[in-house]
Amino acid sequence: MIAIISDIHGNWAALRRVLEEIDHLGIEKIINLGDTAGYYPLVNECCEALRERGVLSLLGNHDFYLVRGLPCHRSRSATACLEHQRRATSASNLAWLAGLPTNLVVDGINCVHGGWSDYLEEYFRPRIGYFDFCDHTVFASGHTHVPIIWVDGPKMYCNPGSVGQPRDGDARASFAVYDGLNFETRRVTYDPSDTQRAMRDAGFPAGYYQNLEIGSRIGGRVDRY
């Protein structure tokens, strides 16, 4: 069994609860599809938990922005969060993030953060014929914050959704499990108050973290496939 997580985004309360559930399921191998950083301020806690467990992790677009000192051109709110994180994230955790790969194949699962046309930035939607570019049959990516399992003949794809900022109208943290044959998405309830308090203490207005209560983007927009 393999657990697949993605888009933690510095939400330590959500990651902690997901790791507890993974341990409860008796799963030892975890793949992290990227965006450990971005949005919420407890990036050090998230990085250290992943590093301690030896979690196989990918570089996400927010991780890339953070370590390269770049803004997120699509979002002023995301850029403001990244600016805070650059001041707060330890040098060792920045170095760990900077050294992460953009793609991995783990136990036959072809993994990226975004999509296979653009590992970091593609908002991938599965479609017939897309995966004909390679011989792999099992694929996983994150980035959209919306969980999905999709099958096209022998090709199978999973987006585990987001641990730290679900956007599909369900505020519960999302992850996936792969048993070697099939994917299953799972949700766990967690208390976002610690993450919200950390945002408030860092000086962010309520609009930056109230979305955690409804499972949406900052600003309240819900995304669907």
CATH number at residue 94: 3.60.21.10
Task: Name which of 55, 58, 59, 43 is nearest 91 in CA terms.
Answer: 43
113 in any annotated domain: no
Which range of residues forms the domain containing residue 51?
Answer: 2-103+162-213
- Please give the Cα distance from 173 to 202 (Å, whole number): 23
Nearest C-alpha neighbor of 117 from the set 106, 133, 105: 133
Q: Token digits for 16? A: 């902690």
151 to each of 5, 104, 148, how far by Cα in Å?
A: 20, 20, 10
Cβ atoms within 10 Å of 104's Cβ, excluding its own: 16
64 occurs within a structural domain: yes
pLDDT tens digit sequence for 64-74: 999 999 988 88
Residue 188 buriedness (CB in 10 A; 0-12 / 13-18 / 19+):
middle
In a domain, 45, yes or no: yes
First-to-last alpha carbon distance for the chain, in angstroms, is: 27
DSSP E strands, the chain: 2-5, 29-32, 56-57, 103-106, 109-112, 138-140, 148-152, 155-159, 173-178, 183-188
Q: How far apart, in whole angstroms, are the C-alpha atoms of residue 213 and residue 93?
A: 28
Number of domains the chain contains:
1
Residue 156 lies in a domain: no
Q: Give 41's DSSP letter.
A: S
Q: What totals of helices (H) and strands (E) does the chain contain, helices first?
A: 6, 10
The answer to whether residue 201 sits within a structural domain is yes
Please identify every stretch of the chain with a pLDDT value under 70, giving residue numbers as ranges: none
Instruction: Please check whether residue 220 lies inside any domain of the structure.
Output: no
What CA–CA distance (Å, rounded) separates 139 from 157?
5
Tell me the one-letter amino acid at 170.
D
116-162 per-position pLDDT tens digit: 999 999 999 999 989 988 889 999 999 999 999 999 989 999 999 99
Domain annotation covers residue 19:
yes
Please state, in angstroms and rounded to a whole number, the distance separating the CA atoms of residues 208 and 85.
Answer: 14
Distances in Å between the Cα of 95 and the Cα atoms of 67, 90, 182, 208 are 8, 9, 35, 27
Q: Look at residues 202, 142, 220, 163 and name the one whose alpha carbon lies nearest to residue 10.
A: 163
Asked whether residue 136 is domain-assigned, the answer is no
